[in-house]
Amino acid sequence: MPNLDIAVIGSGIGGSLISSLNTHKDLILFEKESNLGGCASTFKRKKNFYNAGATTFVGYENNHPLKNIFDKINFIPDIKKSEIAIRVIQNKKIINRVKDFETFLKNINEVYPHKNNRIFWTNLKIIDEKFWHLKKLYYAKYSILSYLRTLNSILELCSFFKFDIFKSANSFINDFINDISQEYKDFIDSQLLITIQSSSKDISLLSLALGLSYPFHDVFYVNNGMGSIFDDLLQNVNVHKKEEILQIRKEESFYRIISSKNEYLSKRVILNSSIYDTSKLFDDKKIKNYYNSFSFSDQSAFVINLTLDSKEIFLNHYQIILDDNIPNTISKSFFISFSSKEDKRLSKNGYSITISTHTKAVFWNNMSKNEYEQNKQVTQDFIINSFLKNFESVKKEDIIDIFSATSKTFKRFINRYNCGGKAITLKNILQTPSCTTPFKGLYNVGDTIFAGQGWPGIAIGVNVLNREING
């Protein structure tokens, strides 16, 4: 029976990054699917390739935890900068989210004039910049050293900021731009929903700053699909694809891991499955109770993939903001990503497009098959009609293939109903799970634990985990 130092379960961003940092150990990365990357994977359907969820790549710049990890392992991703990170279209008005602050400010002042726009956006940008220069960012529990490092991190955070960064985002908005229109407010909330999975009413000033400043960083397009990063990143890692872990038993000095193909013993286990879908793997009551103690984050994604035959040139990323909620969702907006025309893999038969918005995860569960299909069609048709209204050069007949995914689809393929991560809010900050657990040798990584979702957030969590497992 194979005897391991570390078994990593899941090849999402978290599982892949931590594996790539520990190739010197006796480590196996298990992935139930044939595609690597989970929510950030790329898959093939019929003759075309599509991104399953994530399409924007951020954090590849100096001082950022993600770039530091890539530098440590000498990995250079195959990426291309999107000069206009996101084009936001709201009632025919256009706001280009670009990195250059003055260009953005001019644009926002034209669309949503306000005397305090400069000070409002400058303060957010300053907080964001300072945050990414923090040196001691840490959050872990269950050992004295972990608590000390966390305390050190909080002290650094408090001494570094002149603003009260844990005050509510809404009070900051009210201090500077309290009389803004509903449209401007929707613009802010829609941007927050895609970057930090929450709206301004539940979050701190720090989250507001990080969420709205996302496009002040370099935003990249990943050539050949987001999933191709994982194929390149994991070249030196022992990856077992199409091998699902079914059960993990805690024994005296190791964990017994039972997969769909074999049985393994490992001193340490790193779970990249979402925190809500993990208890079923264990029979140990204490471990089960631990994972069941986290209240489910009922948020997920509705994703449409399509291939579009068009000669037009498009940007990589758009966000369309509507006046009302999209049927069966919790959002007024949807995000559209186009493959680059010159991308030989994704654009081989036309543009590969991923459209996504936010829904409740459990909404799609308790329906008959018919109801489920009908509801899916309603949401898909509504989004596609809005898409066509906003892109007048695109005709319905140019869409070659189209299909959509709900939380049920995500569960089937990558084992999670909740998607896009859990926002760290004012209410849940102290309950946020850490990479360490109360059980020796058992760890978590990914977007349902600190520091949250996406490449930049998960990279912070990976750095903390790497320090915990390597002393």
Ligand X SMILES: Cc1cc2nc3c(=O)[nH]c(=O)nc-3n(C[C@H](O)[C@H](O)[C@H](O)COP(=O)(O)OP(=O)(O)OC[C@H]3O[C@@H](n4cnc5c(N)ncnc54)[C@H](O)[C@@H]3O)c2cc1C
**Comparison of 40 and 95: residue with beta carbon closer to ligand X:** 40
Taking the complex as a whole, the smallest distance from the CB of residue 168 to ligand X amounts, in Å, to 24
Chain residues in the site for ligand X (CB under 6 A): 9-15, 30-33, 38-40, 53-56, 244-245, 272-274, 301, 303, 356, 414-416, 419-421, 446-447, 453-455, 458
State the pairing for strand pair 255-259/245-250. Answer: antiparallel
Q: Give the residue with the Cβ less far from ligand X, 55 or 319.
A: 55
What is the closest distance, in whole angstroms, from the C-beta atom of residue 190 to ligand X in the complex? 14
Rounded to a whole number of angstroms, the minimum distance from the CB of residue 300 to ligand X is 7
**What is the identity of the amino acid at 51?**
N
- At closest approach, how far in Å is the CB of 382 from ligand X? 17
Residue 260 has which token pair? 């769909």
d(CA 437, CA 441): 8
Cβ-based nearer residue to ligand X, 120 or 334: 334
- Asked whether 238 and 6 are in contact (CB, 8 A), the reply is no
Closest separation in Å from C-beta 419 to ligand X: 4
For ligand X, the nearest residue by Cβ is 12
Tell me which H or E stretch contains 65: helix 65-72
Nearer to ligand X, 27 or 40 (CB): 40
| Host H or E run for residue 42 | strand 42-45
Question: Which one, 13 or 233, has the nearer CB to ligand X?
Answer: 13
Q: Write out the H or E segment, with its range, that includes residue 308.
A: strand 300-308
Contact 75, 20 (CB under 8 A): yes
Burial tier of 323 (Cβ tally within 10 Å: 0-12, 13-18, 19+): exposed
Buried b (16+ CB within 10 A) or exposed e, 259-275: beeeebbbbbbbbbbbb
Query: Among residues 150 and 356, whose Cβ is nearest to ligand X?
Result: 356
Cβ atoms of 307 and 319 within 8 Å: the answer is no
Asked if 345 and 225 count as a contact pair (C-beta separation under 8 A), the reply is yes
Residue 200 or 329: the one with the smaller Cβ distance to ligand X is: 329
* Pick 149 or 217: Cβ nearer ligand X: 217
Smallest gap from Cβ 383 to ligand X, in A, equals 13
Tell me the closest approach of the beta carbon of residue 11 to ligand X, in angstroms. Answer: 5
Residue 303 Cβ, how far from ligand X at the closest point, in Å?
5
Choose among 91, 326, 388, 64: nearest CA to 193: 326
Least distance from C-beta 446 to ligand X, angstroms?
A: 3
Using the CB atoms, write b or e for 411-445: b if 16+ within 10 Å. Answer: bebbbbbbbbbbbbbeeeeeebbbbbbebebbbbb
Which residue number, 205 or 419, has a Cβ lying nearer to ligand X? 419
Nearest to 356 by CA among 184, 197, 208: 197
